[in-house]
Amino acid sequence: MASHIGSLRNQIFDYVSKKYNSKIEYLWEKYPNFAIFRNNKNKKWYGIVMNVSFKKLGVQSDEMVDILNVKVDDLMFREAILQQEGFFKGYHMSKNWISILLDGTVNTNQIFGLIDQSYLVIDNPKTSKRIK
């Protein structure tokens, strides 16, 4: 399963690099596996891939897992998606973010769609001002 996780991480990086011309950035020496991608125009983040303990997501396990945080602009949508397996409240982010488990639970196409939604949220000046 570990190769699948790395593969999913790489698929996400390839997707944002090709579709949005985003550079994958590793900002923290202390967290070498945390990678962000941001909008090239306004420099706002629309995604961050991290490896964290399941405990950080509210699951009683010390197992380390990869997650992707993306931004959503509709809180009703956020609440609905959090009812599905593989989705959590955005770890270490504001209420407008969700965390997606990158273990194969969530379909890759759904992940890509949520990345697209996150990009649109931060790319829209009206939305970006309304949601912090």
- pLDDT interval class at 125 (50, 70, 90): low
Model pTM? Answer: 0.86
Only one residue has tokens 């945390």, namely: 34
Q: Where are the domains of the chain?
A: 2-130
- CATH code for residues 2-130: 3.90.1150.30
The yes-or-no verdict on residue 132 having pLDDT over 80 is no
Q: Measure Cα distances from 40 to 53, 68, 123 in Å.
A: 30, 19, 10
Pick the more confident residue, 67 or 80.
67
- pLDDT of the residue at 129: 45
